[in-house]
Structure 1
Amino acid sequence: MNLYTRTGDKGQTSLIGGRVSKDDIRVEAYGTIDELNSFVGIAAAEAAKHEPLRDMAELLIRIQHELFDCGSDLAYARPGAPLKVTAEASARLEAEIDRASGQAPEITRFILPGGSALSAQLHVCRTICRRAERRVVTLAAEHPVNPETLTYLNRLSDYFFAAARAANALLGESDIEYERSAEVFRKREKE
């Protein structure tokens, strides 16, 4: 099988249901998710090097599969196509956010990306995820999209933030507080 098809040489690409320009907002949206998936792969490989983070590495690989589902849902150019991203995926992320948040010290100030290499990589994932979310919002203003994809991406960026902080804590690294930050996060009352 040849990897090159020559069908995109003039700036067009195929979607499920038609051809569009390679700079079409739909291609931009799922292309940004593909970019995010690559960075998640880097973070998963880094997490797998550390015994206390092996569970995180496995979760990151599951997230990669779910990102493929997001891209697949966005690649459909016609309504009524079968969708893969469901509310259950976002609910699982919420549980993982709670778990990761419980592994890190309470936060009171804004923090800078960094500490450990893995934490910095997860912050890169967070920012790319936010960009992917913005691209999907733009797409949704013009075309129908699976609303669960937007919910999932919103939760996922929160997960990356919580995971970055948990990675630092589990590796014995401190978060780097933004030095000019006031105390902006309030302690939550016990329910």
Structure 2
Amino acid sequence: MNLAGNSTWQISCGDGGTYALFVRDALGISGPAADAIPPLTPPVPRRKAAVSPPELAQDWGRWWRECTASGPGREPLGLPEGLRAAYREWGAFTSPESSRRRDDVRRGFDDTIREVVRDLEQELGRQPVFRLEVLQAPVQGQFWLRLGDAKVFASEELLLSRHLAAPLDAVIRGLLH
């Protein structure tokens, strides 16, 4: 991936609001924004005893949009005690298997990016010029969501897949300078 300041291409990767998705799954939050994104994998244990304010379901969508817009965002008021500790213990980031999977995702994603850029370079006769931000989270299935002109949300499963090339190519073509 090329570095900022180059006159070619730049793709950055970041967290797609995984903690907000964890809270959604742990508390069983439902609503248009919450239901539009698949559940996390590995599955999050449901915290049936946890009591959360009713407005949390409505606030959740705003919170997740903040997380995907500019980083973690401010947590909604009234989150039940112990969610942060449960998130740390969840295992999606702490097990050796999950660490290997993240490494595989990075390698596979990097290979696909380079292939798409190489094909565009051959077609254009020059290096493509664009910037793209990819937010990722370990949600179930091969999932892709356009969040803005130059920002997408993708599942780790899709980032590992050969099926990534088509949506990635389409987005990049729309960003070419």
Q: Identify the structure with the greater strand proportion.
A: 2
Query: Considering the TM-score relative to the shorter chain, is it more than 0.5?
Result: no
